[in-house]
Amino acid sequence: MVLHGYWRSGASYRVRIALNLKGVAYDQAPHDLRQGAQKAADYLALNPQGMVPALAVDGRVLIQSPAVLEWLEETYRDPPLLPGDPADRATVRGMAALIGCDIHPLNNLRVLGSLRRDFGADQATVDAWAARWIVPGFDALESLVLRHGAGWSFGDAPSLADCYLIPQLYSARRFNIDTAAWPGLLQVETRALAHPAFIDAHPDRQPDAD
């Protein structure tokens, strides 16, 4: 199994967390997004979208982190990252989608590059743009974690929601956002950053990290 990714990619980060939580062994194939490596012909042959992550397994290539995470959950059932009750599973998926659909896509490298290149945005403008989407998203997520969490984002064990939350907190600080406004999220982060699966997935510990 080979994970094609980039050390600072939030979507790659969330897949690394899930792989580690499941205890699945994998190799890494890094692609430096800053250099456009994801658009190289050999990588486009694997993933025509030219984005990371992509997971190569058993002669197939799985793309898009939500699909990869669902595949992992269906293929490696222990430990589960979704609860047993259907309504609870929907709640966890909703918490994950709050980040994966409504926050992260608006502050990924492609969007930020367009802001700088096409609209002349400086770093302060980029930071303000990222905050425009992160702050209300985290406000909502804080309420959900306080409602449903018991040490983790949902319940008392890591879930799919945590695979999304921890990378997004890491990203928020890159945009100079003060995360002290969300103590519930920070409590989850404190627990996660003491957990081996999250420690090993951290961007700074990846083979291609600066």
| Predicted pLDDT of residue 112 | 94
CA 21 – CA 69 distance, rounded (Å): 11
Domains in the chain: boundaries: 2-77, 86-197
Contact predicate 45/202, CB 8 Å: no
Residues (pLDDT < 70) of the chain are: none
Stated as kind and residue range, the H or E segment containing 56 is: strand 54-57
| Predicted pLDDT of residue 58 | 95
Q: What class is the 86-197 domain?
A: mainly alpha
CATH number of 2-77: 3.40.30.10
User: What would the pLDDT profile of 54-98 be if each residue is shown by its tens digit?
Assistant: 999 999 999 999 999 999 999 999 999 999 999 999 999 999 999
| pTM for the model | 0.96
| Predicted pLDDT of residue 28 | 97
**Rg, the chain, Cα only:** 17
